[in-house]
């Protein structure tokens, strides 16, 4: 793993946004896998700024978000799709038909997962998969478990993850849906390159286990150790146990 440590979360966002803008300049048709959560918010803000300055062009890029709540339509303000519209898509020139999302409101959720896997393949696979990490080591919504599902699938969220996502639901964990759809760890590991972002003291322990611990489904992010191209963007606090 290529570990990059920056002083502050703001420095992480700046460096990562620049990394993505350069990838887009290099290959305008880059296929990006994108996360939600609080961690990438500053990176998305920086990408909006670079775009406004003419330094990040999404006109030929495609995006695939990692996950979405089940039973939630795209226009629901609590959906990850709404989150992405607010933080990135509405302010950059990505074409709407190249924005790909799991449809949490699909009538057949298993078929929806199959459709998503096929869409990723049709796009030629993910070039760069950006990832946040949950404090319990989850990536996307792949929660710690005895075994992991490799492909895009339906999951039951843990109480801690529902609490972590309460901000999108007026701060009320009880309103957070109980189920979600997520890319599997196998789907993510098929990306050409993965970039994990973590900031803040709260992530220090799972970052340490992700980088140095055993590969175990009890810490889904540890599977990143199996990939040949992983970049880890950290601030000093998240890196404090390395």
* Contacts to ligand GLP by CB under 6 A: 35-39, 66-67, 132-134, 140-141, 161, 164-165
Give the strands of the sheet with 62-65, arranged side by side.
2-6, 230-235, 193-198, 128-131, 31-34, 62-65, 99-100
Q: What is the CA angle 110-113-115, rounded to 5?
A: 110
Catalytic option among 46, 67, 127, 164 = 67
Q: Decide if 136 is catalytic.
A: yes
Nearer to ligand GLP, 127 or 220 (CB): 220
CB of 132 vs ligand GLP, minimal distance in Å: 3
Q: Decide if 67 is catalytic.
A: yes
Q: In this structure, what token pair is assigned to residue 235?
A: 């601030």
Q: Decide if 87 is catalytic.
A: no
Nearer to ligand GLP, 11 or 55 (CB): 11
Nearer to ligand GLP, 60 or 236 (CB): 236
CB of 41 vs ligand GLP, minimal distance in Å: 8
Outline where 53-95 has alpha helix (H).
80-87
Its sign, for the CA torsion 91, 25, 35, 239, is: negative
Q: Decide if 138 is catalytic.
A: yes
Nearer to ligand GLP, 1 or 57 (CB): 1
Nearer to ligand GLP, 55 or 208 (CB): 208
Phi/psi of residue 122, each to 5°? -60, -30
CB of 229 vs ligand GLP, minimal distance in Å: 19
CB of 26 vs ligand GLP, minimal distance in Å: 26
Tokens 């990059």 identify what position?
4
Catalytic option among 143, 164, 235, 237 = 143
Catalytic option among 51, 138, 153, 164 = 138
CB of 85 vs ligand GLP, minimal distance in Å: 17
Catalytic option among 85, 117, 136, 208 = 136
- Long-range contacts made by residues 22-30, C-beta under 8 angstroms, separation at least 24? 23/127, 23/128, 24/56, 24/57, 24/58, 24/61, 25/57, 27/127, 28/57, 28/59, 28/60, 28/61, 29/60, 29/61, 29/62, 30/61, 30/62, 30/127, 30/128
Catalytic positions are 67, 136, 138, 143
């Amino acid at each position: 793993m290529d570990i990059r440590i920056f002083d502050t979360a703001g420095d992480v966002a700046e460096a990562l946004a620049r990394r993505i803008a350069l990838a887009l300049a290099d290959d305008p048709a880059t296929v990006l896998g994108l996360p939600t959560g609080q961690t990438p918010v500053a990176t998305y803000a920086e990408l909006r700024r670079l775009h406004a300055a003419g330094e990040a062009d999404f006109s030929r890029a495609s995006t695939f978000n990692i996950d979405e709540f089940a039973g939630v339509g795209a226009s629901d303000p609590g959906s990850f799709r709404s989150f992405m519209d607010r933080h990135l898509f509405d302010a950059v020139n990505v074409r709407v038909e190249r924005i790909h999302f799991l449809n949490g409101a699909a009538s057949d959720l298993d078929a929806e997962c199959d459709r998503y896997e096929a869409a990723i393949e049709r796009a030629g696979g993910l070039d760069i998969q950006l990832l946040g990490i949950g404090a319990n080591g989850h990536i996307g919504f792949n929660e710690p478990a005895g075994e992991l599902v490799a492909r895009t699938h339906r999951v039951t969220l843990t109480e801690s993850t529902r609490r972590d996502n309460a901000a999108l639901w007026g701060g009320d964990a009880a309103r957070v849906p109980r189920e979600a759809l997520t890319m599997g760890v196998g789907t993510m590991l098929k990306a050409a390159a993965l970039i994990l972002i973590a900031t803040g003291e709260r992530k220090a322990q799972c970052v340490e286990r992700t980088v140095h611990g055993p590969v175990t489904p009890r810490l889904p992010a540890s599977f990143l150790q199996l990939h040949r191209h992983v970049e880890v963007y950290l601030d000093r606090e998240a890196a404090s146990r390395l």
